[in-house]
Structure formats: C-alpha cells, structure tokens
Structure 1
Amino acid sequence: MKALSFYAKQITIGNRAYHILVPQFLLNHMYVGEFRKNDFMIFSNGHGLKMLASMLVLISRNVDKILYLPTRNNPLIEYLQRWFWDSSNNDLVLYHHSLQFNIHEWKEIRQNLKGYKDKVTYNINEEEYTEVPQKEYDRFRYRENKDCLHIKRKYETLFFEGSAKVFSIMSGRLIPLSEEGHDYYLEYGSHDHAHMDLFLCRKDMQLCVDYYDAALWNSKNQRRARQ
C-alpha cells in the first residue's frame, strides 16, 4: 500500500464540470506514443511502471474523475524517437466510458490547468490485481464483452477510455514487467514488454507497454564500449 498525492481541480466547460487529477510526483521516465497508425506504445522504467499500475487502480475506482499524466514534454532521445513514427511524445489521459467525455474539449481543459489549490491523497495497493484468475482474462476474448479499452489520439494526447474492470485488470499486467524487465534486459539485451491488445475494443489496434530504463541501457552500452 502506498500513499500518492494529486492536484485536484474542477474545470467547467459549457454546462459540464470535469474533475481533473494530476500527479504531484514526477513521471519524467514515461514515454507515450504511436509506433504506427493505431499501434500505440508506452515506455517506462520499473518505478514508472509501478506508478502507472497504481494510477490504473486509482482511476478504476473513481468513475467521476479524469486522470491526466503530463508526459508529452519528457524529452525523447534518438533511440526512442525511432519507435514513434512522428518522433513525438504524448500526454496520457484516463477516464471512464460512463463519463461521456468529449475529447474535443481537452485542449481548453489543459490550458486551464493552472493555479492548483486543492490536493488529495489516495492509498493504493498497486499489486492488488497481480493474482487475477485466468477466467478474468478470458472474458475479454468474447465479442459480447463491453469492458474494453478505447484509445484515441488527439492534441498530443493518448486518451484511454475504459471501465473499472479493464483498468484494474490491466494494472496487474504491469507489476511483473516492472520487476522482471531489468534482468530480462541484462540477459537478452532487449525490452521486456506486455501486450495489452486483449483489452482493446478495436481489434485492428495494438497497445504494448515496454520496460525501458535509460540508465540501465547506458550502463550496458558503456561496458560494451570498454570491452
């Protein structure tokens, strides 16, 4: 269990009031982008992946909130630029289907996210969904399943629109990756990753989360150079 603090702000657009949460903690090792059309990727190190798992658990329980992860200004090194077709990083926004959020209002909302006054802290067990029975995964394979993730990209942002079920089950896939990615790289010299395609509403899309630790990559490359 960990306590995570967020800025909280209500923004009104027209007759709609949106409750936005923004992490107080840094997400400077998280990279969010599009590998090719409708093929999305997230890169982060072990700590970042655990934070992302925690935030998936958080949003699964807060149906009335929009969770905004401001990651688009994290600088992409040349290596990561090659993984995103337009060489650009993006923000990440998480919210529920039931919110019926119009993403065309996001640019105005983001511009008004200044002068935070309120703060809120949540206690989150990031590992709560790591031991989910296989039948919970199998249900996502059925065509009639409505608990799925919609992904849209606009305004330098990936929008993840889901449900309590899909957000919580997805979180459990990130913890093993966060813990095993380091050793996987040392042994195989490549990214460990978790495919999330199973959770997507559209089967012509892909979502992959990759373990990427810049310090680890650099240290191994330096050792190679000295050999």
Structure 2
Amino acid sequence: MEQRVRVHKVRFGGGELRVVRPDPAPGRLALRDDGHWLSMYADRDGAERLTALWSLAARSARSLVHLPIRANRAPDGAAGEGEPVALDLVLVHHSLQFPTASWKQVRSRLGAGSPHTASTPDRDFPEASAIDHDRRYHPTYRDHLGFDIAAHTLFVVGSATAFREHGTALRGLVDEAPSHRHRHPGAGHFCVEFSSGPWTRPRTRRHVPGALHIEYCEDWPV
C-alpha cells in the first residue's frame, strides 16, 4: 500500500532525528486515555491507514512514525469513563532508545517537512498460524510492545518482530471487521487488544494503562 507522508528531520542529541507523518493525517482515527485503558477507534479507511503505517514502523528502525490525531473527535457513543484524554500516537523501534520526555521539544521543531511516498507490501505481516504465541511467555523473549505517554502522545515501542506479529491481529480490522456484522448478526463490536509487556496488567511501571483496545467503528458520520 502506498502512503503519502511528510518526512521531518530534526537536530537532536548531537545527531539527526527522522520523524515520518501521514499526509494528510487520518481523519477517522481517534485515541483516548480512558484512565483504566487506552481506547482507539477506527473506520475502514482509518484501519487501512493505521495498518499501513504500522507496517512502515516495522520497517523503519531509525524513524519515529507520528500520527497527529489528537484533535480527531471520537465516534458518538465512544466516550469512556470520566474525562478521557485525547492522544497522538508515535510508533518507534526500541533500538532507537528515544527519550519520550524529549518529545515535546522535538515536536515543536518539526516544521513543514518534505513530501514523500512510502510503499509497504499489502501482506507485510505473518499468517496467524505462523506465530508461536507461547514463546512470548518465555523469560528470555524480548519482542514485546511497550507503552509510554508524554506530551499527550502515546508511544508504542517495540522491535520489528513485535510490530509485525501484532500487525497480524491489526490486519483483522481491515480483512474481517467490515463484514463482521453480516457474518455474526447480533454480535458486539470487532476489536483487537494489545498489552504492554509479556502479560496484561492494569498499569505499566510508568503508570500508563497497560492495555490498548482498538475498536472498528463502521458508522462514523463526517
């Protein structure tokens, strides 16, 4: 899939940091910190673009993939408990060791960036049957996702393997979610859920919610 993006280069820490943003940003993709968990909502176009950018993140070990979606309105009826906090999303390789506390400073220096076209294969993730989920619980396994929040932005951090294997579940929002109601009349919504670390826990050590719930929303008025 081809994505129009803007590439921003910022001087940082004695070197250069590369930030990639979709151009334009997805309009029907929203992310909220609901206090107990992280909630994301996507229609078909939003799901397709999120999946393509997730694939780009898996292939871009030296870049931050930034989705500036904080201003997007969540679909009607999607409000969480209390007062959910709207968030942007950044996908980043753990090998980059980016200090999330520096994100506000980096974001303020991005500028207009340069237009590019990024191409990712339509099938860039392994088949579900090829993933050995049991090995994720082995003490030496390191290909987990991690969550952090800084400057109203959720950082999803992981290796290429972590992004690709979780991308298989994410791909279901594109392949399966649109026909879910037809195949399963009366069933609830279609969603995927990712956790931070090797097991589900309420909070990470930085007190960020430990679960990211991504819900497919077919009816999302303009």
Same fold, TM-score > 0.5, yes or no = yes
Partner of 2:144: helix, strand, or coil?
Answer: coil
Q: Counterparts of 2:123 and 2:197 in 1: how far apart (Å)?
A: 22
Match of 1:71 in 2: 69
Q: Counterparts of 1:214 and 1:89 in 2: how far apart (Å)?
A: 20
The structure having more radius of gyration, on CA atoms, is 1
Kindly provide the amino acid, as one letter, of the partner of residue 193 in structure 2. Answer: H
Q: Counterparts of 1:195 and 1:213 in 2: how far apart (Å)?
A: 18
How much does 1:192 deviate?
0.8
Partner of 2:134: helix, strand, or coil?
Answer: helix
Match of 2:25 in 1: 26
Match of 2:50 in 1: 52
TM-score normalized by the length of structure 1: 0.83
Match of 1:221 in 2: none
How much does 1:130 deviate?
5.1
Match of 2:204 in 1: none
Match of 2:217 in 1: 212
Aligned residues between the structures: 211
Partner of 2:84: helix, strand, or coil?
Answer: coil
How much does 1:202 deviate?
5.8
Once structures 1 and 2 are overlaid, which stretch shifts more, 41-50 or 145-154? 41-50
How much does 1:67 deviate?
0.5
Match of 2:192 in 1: 194
Match of 2:85 in 1: 88
Q: In the alignment, is residue 103 of structure 1 matched against residue 100 of structure 2?
A: yes
Partner of 1:182: helix, strand, or coil?
Answer: helix
Change in Cα spacing, 1:10 to 1:211, as seen in structure 2 (3 Å) is: same
Kindly provide the amino acid, as one letter, of the partner of residue 8 in structure 1. Answer: V
Match of 2:41 in 1: 43
Kindly provide the amino acid, as one letter, of the partner of residue 211 in structure 2. Answer: Q
Partner of 1:66: helix, strand, or coil?
Answer: strand
Q: In the alignment, is residue 115 of structure 1 matched against residue 112 of structure 2?
A: yes
Q: In 2, are the aligned partners of 1:22 and 1:69 still within 8 Å (CA)?
A: yes
Q: In 2, are the aligned partners of 1:152 and 1:159 still within 8 Å (CA)?
A: yes
Residue by residue over 1:8-49, the C-alpha shift from the partner in whole angstroms, topping out at 9 and shown as x without a partner, is 111113424210101113311111122334x22211012211
Choose from 153, 157, 161 the match for 1:157: 153
Partner of 2:32: helix, strand, or coil?
Answer: strand
Change in Cα spacing, 1:182 to 1:188, as seen in structure 2 (3 Å) is: farther
Unpaired segments of 5 or more residues in structure 1?
219-227
Q: In 1, are the aligned partners of 2:52 and 2:120 still within 8 Å (CA)?
A: yes
Partner of 1:196: helix, strand, or coil?
Answer: strand
Q: Counterparts of 1:180 and 1:132 in 2: how far apart (Å)?
A: 13
Residue by residue over 1:68-102, the C-alpha shift from the partner in whole angstroms, topping out at 9 and shown as x without a partner, is 0000011235522x226432321000111110101
Unpaired segments of 5 or more residues in structure 2?
202-209
Q: Counterparts of 1:144 and 1:129 in 2: how far apart (Å)?
A: 23
Match of 2:60 in 1: 62
Change in Cα spacing, 1:6 to 1:33, as seen in structure 2 (3 Å) is: same
- CA root-mean-square deviation: 2.2
Partner of 1:79: helix, strand, or coil?
Answer: coil
Q: Counterparts of 2:81 and 2:89 in 1: how far apart (Å)?
A: 15
Q: Counterparts of 2:214 and 2:145 in 1: how far apart (Å)?
A: 14
Percent of residue pairs identical: 20
